[in-house]
Amino acid sequence: MLRSVSCVGRLFVLIILGFLWVFVLIVLLRRGLVNVVRKLIKLLNEFGGVKYGDFTLSSGEKSSYYIDIKAVCTEPVFLREVAREISGELGGVDRVAGVALGGVPLVTAVSLESEVPYLMIRKEEKGYGTNDRIEGSYSVGDSAVIIEDVTTTGNSVLDGIKALRDAGLSVDRAFTVVDRESGAIENLQENGVELKAVISVSELVNR
């Protein structure tokens, strides 16, 4: 009788220790993720990635601030961190793709980190040569994840997705380094694409 009580006791202790271990693991993992975002925000501020003034956006809208990822993604440390962060979330996919100009250095870095081949999407056809909007090799039926530097309306990403779909690739996920929380997530959702932001602009800018 006594022996079976001590067995149950030991089992109970083991179960509690198991739960504790899982809890500690979750806390450590979450801290790791939060730290990457904090590090990227620090780098964005350090290298002039957040600018204040009067800006016109690609949609024609006016803004009192501008997220200048191009100023920061030329820094290897920023590019490496972004590539690690996005690569860790990629899952199985045949191609990663980036829209010119901002998406191209990012997708190149993600490709190096994840070893997934990449595609570049031109804003428009050149009118000569192959006249392809999508540069790189792929097969019809390949799946692709699109990577962008900044999203506002999401129309640039959507345009890239349309080009990929027209070429016979399937796209249902996209990543952006900074989402300006101005409708891109909803816009893409309506078009069957889940957009994940590494950083939301409210974490970066006091609006």
Ligand X SMILES: O=P(O)(O)OC[C@H]1O[C@H](OP(=O)(O)OP(=O)(O)O)[C@H](O)[C@@H]1O
Cβ-based nearer residue to ligand X, 116 or 174: 174
Cβ-based nearer residue to ligand X, 87 or 152: 152
The answer to whether 152 contacts ligand ORO (rule: CB under 6 A) is yes
Looking at residue 185, the DSSP 8-state letter turns out to be H
Q: Which of residues 164-183 bind ligand ORO (CB under 6 A)?
A: 180
156 among annotated binding-site residues? yes
Whether residue 193 contacts residue 174, with contact meaning beta carbons closer than 8 Å, is answered with: yes
**Residues within the interface to ligand X (CB under 6 A):** 58-59, 99-102, 148-156, 184
Q: Which ranges of 92-131 does DSSP label H, i.e. alpha helix?
A: 103-114
Side chain identity at residue 77, one-letter code: V
126 among annotated binding-site residues? yes
**How far is Cα 76 from Cα 108, in angstroms, rounded to an integer?**
12
180 among annotated binding-site residues? yes
Please give the full DSSP string across 123-139, using - where no structure is assigned. SS--SSTT--SEES---
Residues 89-108: x where in contact with ligand ORO by CB under 6 A, - otherwise, as a string? --------------------
Stretch that binds ligand ORO, among 17-25, 57-65, 92-100, 133-141 (CB under 6 A): 57-65
Residues 4-43: x where in contact with ligand ORO by CB under 6 A, - otherwise, as a string? ----------------------------------------
Cβ-based nearer residue to ligand ORO, 150 or 157: 150
Residue recorded with tokens 């081949």: 117
Helix (H) or strand (E) holding 155: helix 155-166
Omega of the bond leading into 11 within 30 degrees of 0 (cis): no
Report what 67 binds from ligand X, ligand ORO, none; CB cut-off 5-8 Å by kind: ligand ORO
> Considering CB under 6 A, how many residues would be counted as binding ligand ORO?
8
Whether residue 184 contacts residue 151, with contact meaning beta carbons closer than 8 Å, is answered with: yes
Report what 120 binds from ligand X, ligand ORO, none; CB cut-off 5-8 Å by kind: none
Closest CA to 148 of 36, 204, 69: 69
Tokens found for residue 113 = 């980190």
- Which residues make up each annotated binding site? 122-123, 126, 148-156, 180
- Which residues make up each annotated binding site for orotate? 152, 180
